[in-house]
């Protein structure tokens, strides 16, 4: 039997009787469940039941509110697929997956607002602003701004916890600015919380999910907060009140999104643009692919476009038709997944790019690209893996749309870090999904200075979301997540508890390993992986690194010894009265400022541990 036929037969056979999903519900909902089961089997199961990369399993989807699934199909990540279904069919699929009808989800408790919500945010308080803290994206909190000493770190305890109502995931980078925590949630609600108490100063509802951190700064005489959503919109709101200042749609491609955090610098907001077209490309009927990654410079005061540069200069053209007659296009891809890095000395912006989605592979995919800060003109690019054209057809049951190049999908999910070496020479250091860490010369057109392998790498392996660097070393968390083979078991992927993880300290000067901290292990925890996909942060002589196993650990920068270990995967009493628990730590890393360490916890993707909590730690919890 052909691979696609085998997959469809397997998922059809594996769909449970709808009556086992929800017994005793009203007849109308039961009918929707039954209809939804058939719709799911025909249109969704081939991806969600077979554990494809970047695809949440049915088990993960079953934990969501039905409203979230409908929103994803109507205006979210799955809006392209959802457009082929009627409103009633979308609700039927949601009812099948969750056993609940839209409207059944109970309302969360009233949000606890701060008594001093009208007071403006402090402007001189220590901060962790945006993704990488500094224009160089080094994720290094220097000196007194951390408010911690090495002796304080072992005494860190939870000061407060905040729950995201109805969410099964809390995987985003928080920001600390002006005595407030700015953080996004899955449905797109932005919270400004008091750093010390966790009460809410204001909230703002974006149109759809927000995965970026929030960058805060002055724009046109106003203290503003900036972020992007997964529909390709960028927002500016008043940082003191949450009032919308402007909103701008940065790309017209139907599945473009903003995943990397926009960077505010000198009156302009630099926005990286990505997409999930490599997911849509798995469908043989989809005309893969036409998206190109880009950087957009906006006037921070008004949102007006100053310039926009596609990192693939050539527009996609028709290439060939696939075996079912669908016209294919290329070149495409090279999404910019991470926050831009600013070089103040040379007025340059550096971005790292994703893989190509279709043939022919682009020369600027899997690359570091340097652009002129003022004009957006490309100064140079350095490709680290050539020929990496990939989409999810390559690993799925129907390879029709897989590019002939069939690349390894080992692009960049994290930004380059700009550092100055002891010699005075400068370098861009960055980890790749190939599990190779590179140093490039920004002053010699990206010439490779050194490359060091730390693991096996792969589509989900190697370095995922980011490293941190101080003045001597780069600290690199290793994913290398692996899964146990379960055939067509629709329970979804099961992480291998014996593979992946570890933290590596490499010398900035030559890439040689200073130390390596092996993962402590899962110790029998179900659905556990030791992989360390989340970005690291460094402060107070320690490296903070979260793990898919649910632990947030602090490692000594001297030798990699663990000086503090907190298991976030448990239930919490929250300041906002929402039932919350922690889980896997991924995508976002800890923000450190003013004696506080703030992180999100919960990420059920890849068979991990779901959760919905924001945790704030302080010395002795005081």
Q: What is the DSSP string of 444-470?
A: TTTEEEEEEE-S---SS-S--S--EE-
- Residue 272 is assigned to a structural domain of this protein: yes
pTM: 0.89
Number of neighbours of residue 501 by Cβ within 10 angstroms: 26
Please report the beta strands in 164-301, taking only residues with DSSP state E, as ranges in sequence order. Answer: 175-177, 180-184, 189-194, 200-205, 215-219, 222-228, 233-238, 244-249, 256-257, 263-265, 268-275, 294-299
- Residue 56 is assigned to a structural domain of this protein: yes
Q: Of the residues 73, 98, 123, which one is the last residue of a structural domain?
A: 98
**pLDDT tens-digit series, residues 394-429:** 988 899 999 999 999 999 999 999 999 999 999 999
**pLDDT higher than 50, residue 11:** no
Q: Which element (helix H / strand E) includes 69?
A: helix 66-74
Number of alpha carbons in the 13 Å side-chain half-sphere of residue 67: 12
- Residue 516 is assigned to a structural domain of this protein: no
Q: Of the residues 415, 431, 464, which one is the last residue of a structural domain?
A: 415
Q: For residue 45, what pLDDT band results from cuts at 50, 70 and 90?
A: confident
**pLDDT for the residue numbered 492:** 53
Average pLDDT over residues 41-67: 74
- Residue 379 is assigned to a structural domain of this protein: yes
Q: Of the residues 396, 415, 434, which one is the last residue of a structural domain?
A: 415
Cα–Cα distance, 21 to 270 (Å, whole number): 47
Cα–Cα distance, 213 to 183 (Å, whole number): 7
Backbone φ, ψ for residue 292 (5° rounding): -130, 135
Lowest-pLDDT range of 2-11, 66-75, 487-496: 2-11
**pLDDT higher than 50, residue 18:** no
Backbone φ, ψ for residue 37 (5° rounding): -60, -45
- Residue 286 is assigned to a structural domain of this protein: yes
Average pLDDT over residues 208-219: 96
Number of alpha carbons in the 13 Å side-chain half-sphere of residue 46: 22
**pLDDT higher than 50, residue 5:** no
Distance of CA 449 to the CA centre of its chain: 28
**pLDDT for the residue numbered 19:** 30
**pLDDT for the residue numbered 469:** 98
**pLDDT tens-digit series, residues 384-393:** 999 999 999 9
Domain of residue 289, residue span: 250-415
**pLDDT tens-digit series, residues 336-395:** 999 999 999 999 999 999 999 999 999 999 999 999 999 999 999 999 999 999 999 998
DSSP state letter for 57: -
| Between residues 361 and 125, the one the model is more confident about | 361
Count of domains observed in the chain:
2
Here the tokens at position 224 are: 């503003």
Tokens 């009032």, residue located? 243
Query: 474: phi > 0 → left, psi -120 to 50 → alpha, else beta; which?
Result: beta
Helix 87-98 with 27-43: angle, nearest 10 deg: 100
Q: For residue 130, what pLDDT band results from cuts at 50, 70 and 90?
A: very high
- Residue 428 is assigned to a structural domain of this protein: no
Cα–Cα distance, 118 to 210 (Å, whole number): 25
What CATH number should be reported for the domain holding residue 309? 2.40.10.480
User: CA quadruple 53, 588, 457, 401: dihedral positive or negative?
Assistant: positive
Average pLDDT over residues 578-594: 96
Cα–Cα distance, 190 to 579 (Å, whole number): 19
Q: Mean pLDDT across the chain, nearest whole number?
A: 90
Q: Answer for the pair 562, 582: CB distance below 8 angstroms, yes or no.
A: no
Residue 155 CB partners (closer than 8 Å, separation 6+): 619, 620
**pLDDT for the residue numbered 14:** 29
Q: For residue 42, what pLDDT band results from cuts at 50, 70 and 90?
A: confident
Cα–Cα distance, 40 to 272 (Å, whole number): 34
**pLDDT tens-digit series, residues 79-123:** 778 888 888 888 888 888 888 888 777 777 889 899 875 566 667
Backbone φ, ψ for residue 305 (5° rounding): -75, 125
- Residue 371 is assigned to a structural domain of this protein: yes
**pLDDT for the residue numbered 4:** 27
- Residue 485 is assigned to a structural domain of this protein: no
| Between residues 389 and 3, the one the model is more confident about | 389
Residue 168 CB partners (closer than 8 Å, separation 6+): 60, 63, 64, 186, 602, 604, 610, 611, 612
């Amino acid at each position: 039997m052909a691979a696609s036929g085998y997959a469809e037969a397997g998922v059809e056979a594996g769909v449970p009787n709808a009556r086992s999903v929800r017994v005793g519900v009203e007849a109308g909902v039961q009918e929707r469940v039954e209809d939804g089961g058939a719709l799911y089997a025909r249109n969704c199961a081939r991806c969600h039941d077979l554990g494809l990369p970047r695809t949440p399993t049915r088990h993960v989807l079953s934990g969501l509110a039905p409203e979230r699934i409908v929103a994803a199909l109507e205006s979210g990540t799955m809006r392209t697929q959802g457009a082929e279904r009627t409103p009633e069919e979308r609700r039927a699929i949601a009812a099948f997956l969750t056993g609940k009808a839209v409207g059944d989800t109970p309302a969360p408790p009233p949000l606890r607002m701060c008594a001093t919500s009208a007071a403006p945010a402090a402007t001189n308080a220590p901060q962790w602003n945006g993704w990488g803290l500094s224009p160089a994206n080094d994720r290094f909190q220097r000196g007194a701004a951390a408010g911690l000493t090495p002796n304080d770190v072992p005494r860190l305890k939870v000061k407060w916890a905040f729950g995201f109502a109805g969410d099964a995931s809390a995987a985003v980078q928080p920001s600390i600015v002006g005595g407030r925590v700015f953080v996004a949630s899955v449905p797109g609600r932005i919270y400004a919380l008091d750093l010390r108490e966790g009460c809410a100063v204001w909230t703002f509802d974006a149109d759809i999910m927000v995965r970026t951190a929030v960058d805060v700064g002055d724009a046109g005489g106003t203290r503003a907060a900036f972020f992007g959503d997964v529909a390709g919109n960028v927002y500016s709101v008043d940082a003191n009140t949450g009032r919308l200042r402007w909103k701008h749609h940065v790309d017209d491609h139907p599945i473009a999104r903003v995943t990397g955090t926009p960077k505010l610098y000198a009156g302009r907001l630099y926005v990286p643009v990505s997409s999930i077209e490599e997911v849509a490309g798995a469908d043989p009927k989809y005309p893969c692919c036409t998206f190109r990654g880009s950087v957009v410079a906006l006037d921070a005061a008004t949102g007006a476009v100053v310039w926009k540069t596609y990192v693939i200069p050539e527009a996609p053209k028709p290439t060939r038709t696939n075996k079912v007659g669908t016209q294919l296009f290329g070149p495409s891809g090279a999404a910019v997944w991470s926050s831009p890095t600013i070089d103040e000395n040379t007025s340059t912006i550096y971005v790292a790019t994703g893989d190509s989605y279709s043939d022919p592979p682009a020369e600027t995919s899997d690359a570091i690209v340097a652009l002129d800060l003022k004009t957006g003109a490309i100064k140079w690019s350095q490709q680290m893996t050539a020929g990496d054209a990939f989409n999810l057809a390559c690993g799925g049951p129907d390879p029709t749309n897989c590019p002939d190049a069939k690349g390894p999908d080992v692009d960049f999910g994290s930004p380059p870090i700009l550092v100055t070496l002891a010699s005075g020479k400068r370098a861009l250091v960055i980890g790749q999904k190939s599990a190779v860490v590179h140093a490039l010369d920004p002053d010699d057109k990206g010439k490779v200075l050194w490359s060091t392998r730390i693991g096996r790498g792969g589509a989900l392996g190697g370095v995922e979301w980011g490293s941190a660097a101080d003045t001597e070393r780069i600290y690199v968390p290793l994913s290398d997540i692996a899964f146990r083979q379960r055939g067509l078991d629709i329970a979804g992927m099961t992480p291998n508890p014996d593979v992946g993880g570890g933290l590596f300290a490499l010398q900035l000067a030559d890439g040689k390993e200073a130390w390596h901290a092996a993962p402590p292990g899962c110790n029998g925890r179900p659905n556990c992986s030791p992989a360390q996909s989340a970005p690291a942060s460094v402060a107070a002589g320690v490296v903070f690194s979260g793990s898919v196993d649910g632990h947030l650990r602090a490692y000594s920068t001297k030798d990699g010894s663990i000086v503090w270990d907190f298991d976030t995967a448990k239930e919490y009493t929250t300041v906002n009265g929402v039932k919350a628990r922690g889980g896997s730590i991924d995508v976002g890393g800890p923000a450190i400022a003013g004696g506080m360490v703030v992180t999100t916890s919960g990420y059920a993707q890849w068979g991990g541990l779901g959760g919905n909590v924001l945790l704030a730690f302080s010395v002795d919890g005081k």
